[in-house]
Chains A and B, each alone.
Chain A
Amino acid sequence: QQPVQSPQAVILREGEDAVINCSSSKALYSVHWYRQKHGEAPVFLMILLKGGEQKGHEKISASFNEKKQQSSLYLTASQLSYSGTYFCGTGPSGAGSYQLTFGKGTKLSVIP
C-alpha cells in the first residue's frame, strides 16, 4: 500500500525550514527518502531502519516513529539546491525482499 505524503507541495524562501511527512496505514519496517530534481533521476538521501531512529544529511534530517507508522523529513535553513520532489519509500516486512513502495512525492520549491 502506497504511503501518504504531506504536504503535496510547499514553497519556501531561502533560509526557511520545512517538514515533510510520510505515513502508512500498515506497519512500517523501514523508511527511505529520495530527492528528485526536475527532469532527473531520484537520488538516495537516507534510510531509517528502526523505530525512533533519526538521521541527518547536511541540514536535512529525518525521524521514524514506528508506533505512529510515520516518518518526517526536516529541512533546515533551506537552500536553493534543496528544490525538488521528495519521495518516501517504505520497505517490506519480509526478509529477503527489497521491494520499495513510494509515496506520490512532495514538491519543494525554494525561492530567493
Chain B
Amino acid sequence: DAGVIQSPRHEVTEMGQEVTLRCKPISGHDYLFWYRQTMMRGLELLIYFNNNVPIDDSGMPEDRFSAKMPNASFSTLKIQPSEPRDSAVYFCASSRLVDRWTQYFGPGTRLLVL
C-alpha cells in the first residue's frame, strides 16, 4: 500500500508569494494531521482533521495559514503571503480511527522562503 503522499517535496519561493502544500493520506484513514518542523521549535502540530472536518487548528500560527480537506483523499496547506520565517519542513500524517494514535507520516515538504 502507498503511504502518505506529499507534494512538492521541495519548494523554494520568494517572500510574499503564495505557497500550497498537498497531501494524500493513506486510503481508509480517518484522521489527517499537518505538522511543521524547525530546529528551533521542533515538531509542532498545526491542524488536524477528522473525516474531512477540521477539529483543532489552534496550532496554526496566524491568518496567513489555511488548510482544507475537500475530500477523504486530499488536503492542502496554504500560506499566503509567505515569509522567510515560514521556512521549515511540513509533514502530513494520517491515522485510522481504530488505531488513531499511530500516525503515519509522509516524506515532508521542505519549504524555503527567500
Contacts and interface: CB of A to CB of B under 8 A. Distances in A.
Interface of A: 2, 30, 32, 40-44, 47, 87, 89, 91, 97-105
Contact of A2 (B42, B104, B107): B42
13 contacts: A30-B101, A32-B101, A40-B107, A42-B43, A42-B105, A43-B105, A44-B103, A98-B100, A99-B56, A100-B103, A102-B43, A103-B42, A104-B41
Contacts of B44: 102
B56 A97 contact: yes
A41 B107 contact: yes
A97 B57 CA distance: 12
Contact of B48 (A42, A99, A103, A104): A99
B95 A41 contact: no
Contacts of A47: 101-102
Contacts of B105: 41-43
The 6 closest A-B pairs by CB, nearest first: A41-B105, A104-B42, A102-B43, A44-B102, A42-B105, A47-B101
A101 B59 CA distance: 10
Interface in B35-56: 41-45, 48, 50, 55-56
Contacts of B108: 41
Interface in B90-108: 91, 95, 100-108
Interface of B: 4, 31, 33, 41-45, 48, 50, 55-56, 59, 91, 95, 100-108
Main secondary structure of the interface of B (DSSP, over half): strand
B107 A100 contact: no
A102 B44 CA distance: 7
B11 to A, nearest CB: 16
Given A2-B42, A103-B42, A104-B42, 11 more contacts: A30-B101, A40-B107, A41-B91, A47-B101, A47-B102, A97-B55, A97-B56, A98-B31, A98-B100, A102-B44, A104-B41
A43 to B, nearest CB: 7
Nearest to A92: B56
Nearest to A2: B42
Contacts of B107: 40-41
